[in-house]
Amino acid sequence: MKKLLPLMCFILGLSGCMSNVDSGNSEKQSEAYTTNFFAMDTYMELTAYGPNGEEAIRTAQEEVLRLDALWSISSQDGDVVQLNATAQETVSEETRQLILRSIAIHDLTGGAFECTVLPIMDLWGFTTQEYRVPSAEEIQAVLPLVDSANIEVSGNEVTLLSGTTIDLGGIAKGYTSNRIIEIFKEYGVESGMVSLGGNVQTLGHKPDGSNWRIAVQDPKLPEEFAGVVEVSDKAVITSGGYQRFFEEDGITYHHIIDPETGYPANSGIISCTIVSEDGTLADGFSTSLFVMGLERASEFWRIHQDEFDVILITDDGTLYITQGIQKSFLTQGNYLEYKLIEA
């Protein structure tokens, strides 16, 4: 996880917000305020420009810590831990919204997104870091619990049927970066950026009026970059098997689960980056399209192309981008060209 720190600095370097001094503008419109902290299992960096930037990042940091306590699977008083323990709870409004969004994305993606994968994550040791390869029987025994149909939401009361439990890790960071951008706006901030472990969301343009330039990691060499995408007012969120994995007998097992099989998704996609105005959607879809594989993901994008674009890298080292970001994407490093997914 510590390896992410230099990466984040590189992203911010590209984005031109390394400085936190007044650039000379008398209105202080381009003064940068930055905070770094660890939450949601990752390093976070929030930067807001302008007169209210300092208060904005302070409030945003408090909100991140509050949401982390609600949703972390190790936060004993949080909504998720409580709900998983009792199977019926009155949850906070944010938890209700995030569960409803998870179910909606589950339905949209034909079940590729499945926030009930927790027992599978447990079996593989991803929740405890005591990694192991479970037997096929163990997986079959818990697969019936992996089913969003077992979640009932009535007002703020959530019920989990038949022993099902939830894990919002596939979508929580995207919801959180959306929320931070909302807070920035409430404070009148017009330019800012957040990086939650390399998952980025931007507000407006850089203070000099140019677009933010966000680097996409090379999943085969995560210290290097496969491309850069230029955006404003967008989230750029990546799911990659290289982000959390273990090896046993020369085989790599990663943390993004195919809910149909209970095994790490083996779709051919090794990195999936979603570019969208909506951070929650970007996070939910990044996990989903990773599970879907190239063909299904391309078809899904064609149907929902007004809502997002995508950068995919497959295990043969091919980089694909969708048509909507053709003019704003540049390859980097070992990736000299891309293939275009056309509408």
Instruction: Give the residues lining the site for ligand AMP (CB under 6 A).
Output: 113-115, 117, 121, 167, 169-170, 239, 243, 255-257, 259, 283, 286-287, 291
Q: Looking at 160-168, 240-248, 285-293, 325-333, which segment touches Mg ion (CB under 5 A)? A: 285-293
Is 170 an interacting residue with respect to Mg ion (CB under 5 A)?
Answer: yes
Contact at 8 Å (CB) between 201 and 173? no
Residue 169 interacts with, from ligand AMP, Mg ion, none (CB under 5-8 Å by kind): ligand AMP
CB nearer Mg ion, residue 168 or residue 215: 168
Residue 121 interacts with, from Mg ion, ligand AMP, none (CB under 5-8 Å by kind): ligand AMP
CB nearer Mg ion, residue 47 or residue 239: 239
CB nearer Mg ion, residue 177 or residue 286: 286
Per residue, the 3-state secondary structure of the chain, as one string, reads CCCHHHHHHHHHHHHCCCCCCCCCCCCCCCCEEEEEEEECCEEEEEEEECCCHHHHHHHHHHHHHHHHHHHCCCCCCCHHHHHHHHCEEECCHHHHHHHHHHHHHHHHCCCCCCCCCHHHHHHCCCCCCCCCCCCHHHHHHHHHHCCHHHEEEECCEEEECCCCCCCCCCCHHHHHHHHHHHHHHHCCCCCEEEEECCEEEEECCCCCCCCEEEEEECCCCCCCEEEEEEECCCEEEEEEHHHCEEEECCEEEECCECCCCCCECCCCEEEEEEEECCHHHHHHHHHHHHHHCHHHHHHHHHHHCCCCEEEEEECCCCEEEEHHHHHHEEECCCCCCCEEECC
Q: Which among 215, 260, 238 has a CA at the least distance from the CA of 12?
A: 215
Residue 255 interacts with, from ligand AMP, Mg ion, none (CB under 5-8 Å by kind): ligand AMP
Closest CB 190 distance from ligand AMP, rounded Å: 28
CB nearer ligand AMP, residue 17 or residue 172: 172
CB nearer Mg ion, residue 56 or residue 237: 237
Residue 321 interacts with, from Mg ion, ligand AMP, none (CB under 5-8 Å by kind): none
Is 279 an interacting residue with respect to Mg ion (CB under 5 A)?
Answer: no
Across 286-315, b (16+ Cβ under 10 Å) vs e yields bbbbbbbbbebbbebbeeeeeebbbbbbbe
Is 286 an interacting residue with respect to Mg ion (CB under 5 A)?
Answer: yes
Is 283 an interacting residue with respect to Mg ion (CB under 5 A)?
Answer: yes
Closest CB 234 distance from ligand AMP, rounded Å: 17
Is 34 an interacting residue with respect to Mg ion (CB under 5 A)?
Answer: no
Closest CB 283 distance from ligand AMP, rounded Å: 5
Q: Looking at 18-26, 72-80, 250-258, 279-287, which segment touches Mg ion (CB under 5 A)? A: 279-287
Closest CB 8 distance from ligand AMP, rounded Å: 16
Q: Looking at 139-147, 214-222, 282-290, 307-315, which segment touches Mg ion (CB under 5 A)? A: 282-290
Q: Looking at 66-74, 202-210, 220-228, 275-283, which segment touches Mg ion (CB under 5 A)? A: 275-283
Contact residues toward Mg ion (CB under 5 A) are 170, 283, 286-287
